[in-house]
């Protein structure tokens, strides 16, 4: 993989200044970026993704210096989180100051994050402004973790795709809302609830009654492959596998670890073995789902991971991907 040269980064920044769309790598997933201060450019993001206009976008920055321009009322604890976790896979929902309503989906709050990826940071520095960017996939689909995923899904709808290799984290950022009295976890990610609570020193609400917050990451069905996808505990998984393969339905099974390498001989059956640590699993998940989704299986099955905090982000994505 060749990292973009500084002249390509400058070209990308110039494209953004001229209202273009630039896809770029972050440590979580690839983003589809536009100048956050240019509502016309931002509307192009919604069009390219087929995303409803009332779903807010995250504003990406390269330093917290200009945070006060985009958001207001940053509390001491918000600053503590920012200092501790940025650059990194944490999005803070704050009260809006100058972030355009096109970006915030008409809401008085704004999502901000400083990504931890050299290409994203180089682009943000060269552009020297906020870049509004959702994940670079069609609305409701699995997020891209490689440049080729963006090319396959959005191709000619983007002016430029910057290469940055496979994303290190692999699932989208943790989203924490700080606009109410008590902080609320809106989307689990690789930064865990307890890590956030430790830095904040206060409790975070998770069972969000999110009726008033428009966040597609919170829709029950999101991040979905096109193929039917089911997640089961190991015993049910094997039963379902045998049932499907027995009736000749082409079935892929995502096991966790190599423990279940012994598989019944059946031409309809394709086992695959996912990593047994949550970070490694998360890194691979979307790429594997994409691959299996294109391979014309009748059904995709996955073994459900343990119900522990370390697996929370993976469990969340598996649940949404299997929901229809």
Q: Which residues make up the interface to ligand TXA (CB under 6 A)?
A: 26, 28-29, 31, 55-58, 89, 91, 93, 104, 107, 109-111, 113, 115, 133-135, 172-173, 175, 186, 213, 215-217
**Max Cα separation, the chain?**
62
Question: Of Mg ion, ligand TXA, none, which one does residue 241 interact with (CB within 5 to 8 Å by kind)?
Answer: none
Q: How far is the CB of 271 from ligand TXA (least distance, A)?
A: 30
Q: How far is the CB of 42 from ligand TXA (least distance, A)?
A: 12
Question: Of ligand TXA, Mg ion, none, which one does residue 213 interact with (CB within 5 to 8 Å by kind)?
Answer: ligand TXA
Q: Which residue is nearest to Mg ion (CB)?
A: 135
- For residue 151 the two structure tokens come to 């090319």
- Alpha-carbon Rg for the chain, nearest whole angstrom, is 20
Nearer to Mg ion, 219 or 234 (CB): 219
Question: Of Mg ion, ligand TXA, none, which one does residue 111 interact with (CB within 5 to 8 Å by kind)?
Answer: ligand TXA
> CA neighbours within 13 Å on the CB side: how many for 239?
6
Rounded Cα distance between 105 and 180, Å, is 18
Residue 17 in 3-state DSSP? helix
Q: How far is the CB of 98 from ligand TXA (least distance, A)?
A: 14
Rounded Cα distance between 139 and 115, Å, is 21
CB 90 within 8 A of CB 174: yes
Residue 203 DSSP label: -
Question: Of ligand TXA, Mg ion, none, which one does residue 45 interact with (CB within 5 to 8 Å by kind)?
Answer: none
Residue 152 in 3-state DSSP? helix
Nearer to ligand TXA, 57 or 147 (CB): 57
Nearer to ligand TXA, 29 or 252 (CB): 29
Residue 293 in 3-state DSSP? helix
> Is 135 a residue that touches Mg ion (CB under 5 A)?
yes
Nearer to Mg ion, 102 or 135 (CB): 135
Could you tell me the CA-to-CA distances from 212 to 107, 108, 208, 309, 322 in Å, in that order? 10, 12, 10, 26, 25
Nearer to Mg ion, 30 or 127 (CB): 30
Question: Of Mg ion, ligand TXA, none, which one does residue 190 interact with (CB within 5 to 8 Å by kind)?
Answer: none
Count, residues near Mg ion per rule CB under 5 A: 1
Question: Of Mg ion, ligand TXA, none, which one does residue 145 interact with (CB within 5 to 8 Å by kind)?
Answer: none
Give the closest residue to 234 by CA, choosing from 276, 174, 278: 276
Nearer to ligand TXA, 29 or 289 (CB): 29
141-166 residues labelled b (16+ CB within 10 A) or e (exposed): bbbbbbbebbeebbeebbbbbbbbee
Rounded Cα distance between 237 and 276, Å, is 17
Question: Of Mg ion, ligand TXA, none, which one does residue 158 interact with (CB within 5 to 8 Å by kind)?
Answer: none
Nearer to ligand TXA, 173 or 304 (CB): 173
Single out the segment in contact with Mg ion by CB under 5 A; choices: 129-137, 190-198, 266-274, 311-319.
Answer: 129-137
- Determine what percent of the chain falls in helix, strand and coil, rounding each to the nearest 5: 35, 20, 45
Question: Of ligand TXA, Mg ion, none, which one does residue 183 interact with (CB within 5 to 8 Å by kind)?
Answer: none
Q: How far is the CB of 169 from ligand TXA (least distance, A)?
A: 8
Nearer to ligand TXA, 96 or 238 (CB): 96
Could you tell me the CA-to-CA distances from 104 to 12, 42, 60, 61, 98 in Å, in that order? 24, 10, 13, 15, 10
Query: How many whole angstroms from its chain centre is CA 91?
Result: 11
Interface ranges with Mg ion (CB under 5 A): 135
């Amino acid at each position: 993989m060749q990292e973009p040269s500084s002249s390509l980064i400058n070209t990308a920044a110039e494209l953004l200044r001229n209202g273009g769309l630039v896809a770029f790598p972050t440590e979580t997933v690839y983003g589809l970026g536009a100048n956050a201060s240019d509502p016309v450019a931002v509307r192009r993001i919604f069009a390219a993704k087929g995303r409803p206009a009332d779903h807010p976008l995250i504003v990406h920055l390269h330093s917290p210096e200009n945070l006060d321009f985009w958001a207001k009322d940053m509390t001491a604890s918000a600053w503590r989180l920012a200092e501790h976790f940025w650059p990194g896979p944490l999005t803070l929902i704050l009260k809006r100051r100058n972030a355009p309503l096109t970006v915030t989906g008409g809401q008085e709050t704004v999502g901000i994050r400083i990504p931890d990826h050299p290409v994203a940071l180089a682009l943000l520095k060269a552009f020297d402004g906020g870049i509004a960017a959702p994940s670079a996939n069609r609305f409701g689909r699995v997020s891209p973790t490689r440049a080729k995923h963006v090319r396959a899904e959005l191709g000619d709808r983007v002016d430029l795709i910057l290469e940055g290799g496979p994303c290190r984290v692999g699932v989208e950022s943790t989203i924490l809302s700080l606009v109410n009295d008590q902080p609320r976890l809106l989307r689990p990610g690789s930064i865990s609830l307890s890590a956030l609570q430790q830095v904040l020193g206060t409790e975070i609400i998770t069972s969000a009654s999110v009726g008033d917050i428009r966040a597609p990451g919170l829709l029950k069905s999101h991040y979905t492959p096109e193929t039917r996808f089911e997640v089961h505990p190991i015993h049910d998984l094997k039963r379902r596998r045998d049932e499907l393969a027995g009736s000749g339905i082409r079935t892929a099974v995502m096991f966790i670890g190599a423990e279940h390498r012994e598989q019944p001989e059946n031409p309809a059956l394709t086992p695959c073995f996912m990593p047994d640590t949550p970070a490694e699993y998360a890194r691979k998940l979307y790429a594997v789902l994409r691959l299996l989704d294109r391979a014309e299986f009748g059904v995709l099955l996955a073994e459900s991971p343990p119900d522990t905090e370390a697996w929370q982000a993976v469990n969340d994505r598996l649940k949404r991907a299997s929901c229809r």
